[in-house]
Structure 1
Amino acid sequence: MNYLLGKENDREGARLLSGDPELTKMLSGSLSFQNRYTVGVLSFEEVNLPDDDKRAIMESFESSLLAGLDKDQYNMTWIEHTDKERLELNFVIANVELTTGKRLQPYFDRVDRPLVENWKQVTNHEYGLTDPHNPDKAQAVKTLNRQNLPKEVQQLKAQIGQAIAHQIEQGNITDRKGVIDTLE
């Protein structure tokens, strides 16, 4: 909550949309589960949306993600961020089913990712939002992630990183240009 709202509830561009941050913190803090809360964000390319649309989107997301639960069975706080020239609807869910006190797992990636992806596509279409899957938004160059790199490349990258770190420690590199010159 300190990140979402600011330590003194003074974060610029942050606004509480629904829920009770103090109650969410208190509930989460009282749990003995390993993962006491779930945090996520709905990020939009749009700078802002009408408040009625935000509320409808949040309610739709809740009913999709927490299908089968009534609002009195879970605790969820929504906080808006508009400080990055885009709209972000952040949420925090205390991982407890309130009527039983049992652990609540609101999102299990392997199972829920397709559900959330489908919800996103429908919502983007319904509200005329930017489609992140639009071919015009595709990156011209795809980069491999660390897990997909061959072992030899991973080792080479590690060696380069160590060599650069050593040169920085020795005082031979003091800025970006120094790193580039060393790599060249």
Structure 2
Amino acid sequence: MMIRLFRHGDGSGRIAVRYLLAEEVAAYDEERRRTKGKTEVRTVLPEVLQGDPEQTIALIDSNFRKWRYTSGVLAFAAEDQPTEDELISVMDDFERTVFAGLETDQYNCLWVKHEHKGNVELHFIVPRIELYDGAAFNPAPPRSESYFNAFRDYWNTAKAWASPNDHNRRRTLRHVFEQEDRTQIRDAIRAHVISKIELGKIRDHKDVLAALKELEEDGMEIKPPRPSKRPLRSLLRRLSCG
């Protein structure tokens, strides 16, 4: 099982929830890039496990702050095959972890199960608002990756579920340098770095450089940053004064 937080969160709640529940949606490739003009039909329809879609929509769309909701997914490998009781336990434990210190009526969380890709995915969407007084609330603040990773690793160990840390499950990096579109190249590099962050392997600038080094080993040329001219100018100024 792995946890992924999506970057969206400043749009319409109705559009976001309808996408989770739709029978036919836009098609994406293996790198999560939208395939223009193509759609896919969810042969297994989405199922609401917990929460009220209309209530979640109303809370999101009544929030006039920039960031209105947080969404993500708990994705299980096809071989994990969690039971219904295990899914309920995971969702309840996730809420106890993420909303620690809050009462159950202080937050709203919608859970939708997807199975059309051959594995179980628990999608969640949380309005970024505390329900007692309407204060802004962020369930996934910056640098919280280790918190989510600890939750993931606990359940994977307890249930012997597939772990994204398993070297044998590492996805083969596409040869992004062979693509013609510079936007696609940037997206592929960004996806590579984000995957490392999700695995807890990137924590600082040094780790980012190491991740980019992997791309070079895969055949992509990455030019080093241009050296700053400020030190040279400062040296010339001191020499001229001397």
TM-score by length of 1: 0.73
RMSD across aligned C-alpha pairs, in angstroms?
2.5
100-109 or 80-89: which moved more?
100-109
Asked if 1:46 is matched to 2:118, the reply is no
1:94 equivalent to 2:110? Answer: no
Correspondence for 1:114: 146
Q: Any conservation in 2 of the 1:46–1:129 contact (CA below 8 Å)?
A: no
Give 1:68 deviation, angstroms: 1.0
Matched, 1:21 2:93: no
Larger fraction in helix:
1
Identity of aligned residues (%): 31
Distance in structure 1 (CA, Å) of the matches to 2:23 and 2:163? 34
Structure 2 counterpart of 1:25, which letter?
I
Higher mean alpha-carbon deviation, 47-56 vs 18-27, is at 47-56
What corresponds to 2:222 in structure 1?
150
Q: Deviations over 1:34-58 (max 9, x none)?
A: 1111111001103642111001001
| Matched-pair contact (CA < 8 Å) for 1:65–1:106 | yes
Cα distance in 1, alignment partners of residues 133 and 48 from structure 2: 27
Mapped pair 1:138 → 2:210: no
What is the number of residues matched between the two proteins?
150
Per-residue CA deviations over 1:137-156 (Å, capped at 9, x if unaligned) read 2346687826846348xxxx
2 CA distance for matches of 1:100 and 1:120? 31
Q: TM-score, with normalisation over the residues of structure 2?
A: 0.56
Deviation at 1:109, TM superposition (A): 3.4
Asked if the contact 2:111/2:124 (under 8 Å) is kept, the reply is yes
Is there any run of 5+ residues in structure 2 with no aligned partner, and where? 1-16, 25-40, 176-187, 194-211, 213-220, 225-242
Task: Give 1:7 deviation, angstroms.
Answer: 7.3
- Partner in structure 2 of residue 65 of structure 1: 98
Matched with 2:18 is 2
* 2:84 counterpart letter in structure 1: D
CA contact (8 A) 2:23 2:46 kept: no
Q: 1:44 to 1:7 in 2, by over 3 A?
A: closer
Q: Which amino acid aligns with 1:69?
A: L
